[in-house]
Amino acid sequence: MNCTHTALLSSYYNEIRRRQPKGPYHLGGWSAGGGFAFACAELLIRDGEEVQSLIIIDSPLPQQMETLPVEFYEHCATLGLYGNEKPPSYLIPHFLRTLETMLPYQATPLKTRRLPKVGILWACETVMDAAGAPDIGERNHFMLRRRQDFGPDGWDTVLPGAEFVLGKAVGANHFTMMQKDHNQHIARLIEKVVVQGLAQVGY
């Protein structure tokens, strides 16, 4: 992947509008995707649309994002976190480039009176607990440490006044939380934020 944050965001935005021309919208994303979901919400609201819900899955605030060395992703591959087969050659460069693309973006408070209902799910474990973890030094990256703050962790600063539903993926790390054994945590969060929210407004 070789494009700017603006270009990648535009491609997401255009595809959302192609599939669903009018709101209300329900957006979500995992990892860097949470930041892109917020940025898409920002554009939709700018264009007069309503974003009814926003699901953030183990995603730090964009301005808290930072890159990780290749050794981290190679360690994840040895743990089978990318699937049972050897990961394709493009996968690690894709992870690195996606994070680099996000770095210039600084999230700012949404300018709307109809803030989305926000669901946030945090992984409780870290892949660095596994045997053979590389020495990456003293870094505060969210994927290198066990999470202590299970609150909004900064998202409330760009969604002031929004209703938050917070959850923990107990026993799962950033990658395994998306796998079959743990994805019930995500299903429950969507149930609380999206499905119950739709019921409340009469859908």
What is the rounded CA–CA span in Å between residue 181 and residue 172?
Answer: 9
What is the rounded CA–CA span in Å between residue 167 and residue 149?
Answer: 11
Q: What is the pLDDT of residue 160?
A: 96
Q: Which residue in the block uniquely carries the two structure tokens 């860097």?
A: 32
How far is residue 141 from each of residues 5, 63, 78, 175, measured CA to CA in Å? 21, 12, 20, 15
Q: What is the pLDDT of residue 161?
A: 95
Task: Tell me, yes or no, whether 86 lies in a domain.
Answer: yes
Task: Tell me, yes or no, whether 203 lies in a domain.
Answer: no
* CATH number of the domain bearing residue 25: 3.40.50.1820
Contacts of residue 162, defined as CB under 8 A and 6 or more positions apart, other chains included, come to 115, 116, 117, 118, 156
DSSP reduced 3-state for 56: strand
Q: Which residue in the block uniquely carries the two structure tokens 């440490």?
A: 145
Q: What is the pLDDT of residue 144?
A: 79
Task: Tell me, yes or no, whether 115 lies in a domain.
Answer: yes
What is the rounded CA–CA span in Å between residue 203 and residue 200?
Answer: 8
Task: Tell me, yes or no, whether 136 lies in a domain.
Answer: yes
Task: Tell me, yes or no, whether 137 lies in a domain.
Answer: yes
Q: What is the pLDDT of residue 135?
A: 74
Instruction: For 132-182, write each residue's pLDDT tens digit.
Output: 777 776 666 777 788 888 999 999 999 999 999 999 999 999 989 998 889
Domain that holds residue 51: 5-198
Q: What is the pLDDT of residue 200?
A: 54
Q: What is the pLDDT of residue 12?
A: 95
Locate 170 and state its tokens: 């107990």
pLDDT at 197 over 70: no
The reported pTM is 0.89
Q: How many domains does the chain have?
A: 1
Locate 200 and state its tokens: 């409340």
Instruction: For 53-91, write each residue's pLDDT tens digit.
Output: 999 999 999 998 888 888 888 888 888 887 766 777 888
Range 135-140, long-range pairs (CB < 8 A, 24+ positions): 136/68, 136/69, 136/71, 136/72, 139/66
Is residue 39 very low, low, confident or very high in pLDDT (cuts 50, 70, 90)?
A: very high
Instruction: For 5-35, write each residue's pLDDT tens digit.
Output: 899 999 999 999 999 999 999 999 999 999 9
Contacts of residue 89, defined as CB under 8 A and 6 or more positions apart, other chains included, come to none
